[in-house]
Structure 1
């Protein structure tokens, strides 16, 4: 257990990561940062974060290391690669992967970390760019309960709903549960708002009527208005959601379950990506229905 305020290393300062790292820094933690593209970390550096040139350098200078990067292949390389985190972490280091990745990889990282006396957690998040900015993310954690108590104050800088779900991999299983719900919800919200438009209704008035009733959801209230206004700027990229949907499908099949809604959502989002929309936000699914 850490007895003094730890130095935090943060890897991945993109749409979500930059805000999450900023909130940690605002909490009074000394912050080291690394990103493949340094420009994406410039704002944090200007605010006092210390730039590290490599993952290895950041690891050696930090007590707690947080990652939120792109794909499971990136996670594997950053944690298990020759110049990765576990090759350079000191005994007693805490590592927290907040990327949406695979439960299998989370378990593998945990096992390798144990061999080195490192505490590993998988802690994916939900809440989008707004939750990251406001520090209100839902954080789903897999890992050891005793060690979890040590990292809670840091997680509390980024989120308000922080739940230890079970051993390694449990955070990722929970995130996939979340993504399965979102896949179906995005289909419903997109279809409904285009339906309202085709029926000649004022979509904003319709949204006001239904967002507080039985249909209410984060997607409806937060992304519905963006859809109506044609704002498809990414809070969460389509390309990353496709990655999540692939993980959900594969994981579900490993459990003997067919997820038909996820399969349909993946097909439609892949169609959007093929048309050059992969860097838009997930609310751009609305475009698919609007253009029918």
Structure 2
């Protein structure tokens, strides 16, 4: 691990399923963390507060004295609002502050936002994450970073609190580019997982046996090991919501708009996730990605 400056002041914007545990891990490591969440009284806010994070009522209060600012929110408009909007980071942070956005927003938006932050004399890394709520809680996330090498080196002690695999992927936007490839893998793995579970059920095989046996061979994957048991138990509580993977697949498709390339696996995963999103009077998207199995069960 890099040498660590424990006197750094950290701000964390967004205390959701991922952001709450991430901010908590930074506080447990001994950093002074001030955080803000758009919606108070959410579980992630409580997780962070219990770990010693100071939860404040405005972005301005969170970032005014920060050396490094993390953001972890849902989509491109959300990131623009908290970083560039009225009362946001660009207006409130000190010149030279390093801003690290861990949201998934695609490379084009990352470059646009990063360029605008630079015009406010702020530094920027796009640093999308993978590993689900499990990785966020355990500090074992994969973190894909785009930006200047010197900013990456400065951020490493903090990122090493949050993740296990941390890689500088290239200039600004490159972390997002790698993350979209990651989301293609995750989405299409979900299709394979659900179809294997359906085939097991049709043959009167315990789905947990598929997890135990197939995880050890060439078909093993994070999805099988971590989401397979949830499918077997019909546990659809979200570690990563369907509405969020659908947003990421939208970004993949937007990235391909200028290319003749087609990704039929992505199109299939997108269609199956959208089917589940329509369940429960349109609230199916609040469930975890393992709930794709409901598209096969038709309910």
TM category (shorter chain) comes to over 0.9
Partner residue of 2:291? 284
Partner residue of 1:11? 13
Structure 2 contact 70–100 (Cα < 8 Å) conserved:
yes
Structure 2 contact 125–145 (Cα < 8 Å) conserved:
yes
- Match for 1:39 among 34, 38, 41? 41
Structure 2 contact 28–52 (Cα < 8 Å) conserved:
no
- Indicate the SS of the match to 2:256: helix
Deviations 1:201-257 (A, max 9, x none): 122223222111110000011101110111111000111111111011111233442
Structure 2 contact 208–229 (Cα < 8 Å) conserved:
yes
Moved more, 268-277 or 123-132: 268-277
1:225 aligns with 2:229: yes
How many residues matched?
Answer: 291
- Indicate the SS of the match to 1:10: strand
- Match for 1:250 among 232, 251, 254? 254
Q: Please give the alpha-carbon distance, in whole angstroms, between the structure 1 residues aligned to 2:5 and 2:142.
A: 26
Question: TM-score normalized by structure 1?
Answer: 0.95
Partner residue of 1:116? 120
Partner residue of 1:28? 30
Moved more, 137-146 or 247-256: 247-256
CA spacing shift, 1:274–1:61, aligned 2, 3 Å:
same
Q: Please give the alpha-carbon distance, in whole angstroms, between the structure 1 residues aligned to 2:135 and 2:209.
A: 25
| Equivalence map 1:1-292=2 (5 Å) | 5-40=7-42, 41-276=45-280, 277-291=284-298
User: RMSD across aligned C-alpha pairs, in angstroms?
Assistant: 1.6
Deviations 1:119-171 (A, max 9, x none): 10110100001111100000000110011111110011100100000111101
Deviation at 1:102, TM superposition (A): 2.0
CA spacing shift, 1:3–1:15, aligned 2, 3 Å:
closer
- Indicate the SS of the match to 1:37: coil
Question: TM-score normalized by structure 2?
Answer: 0.93
Deviations 1:1-31 (A, max 9, x none): x977311101111111111111111111000
Deviation at 1:52, TM superposition (A): 1.9
CA spacing shift, 1:228–1:169, aligned 2, 3 Å:
same
Structure 2 contact 21–48 (Cα < 8 Å) conserved:
no
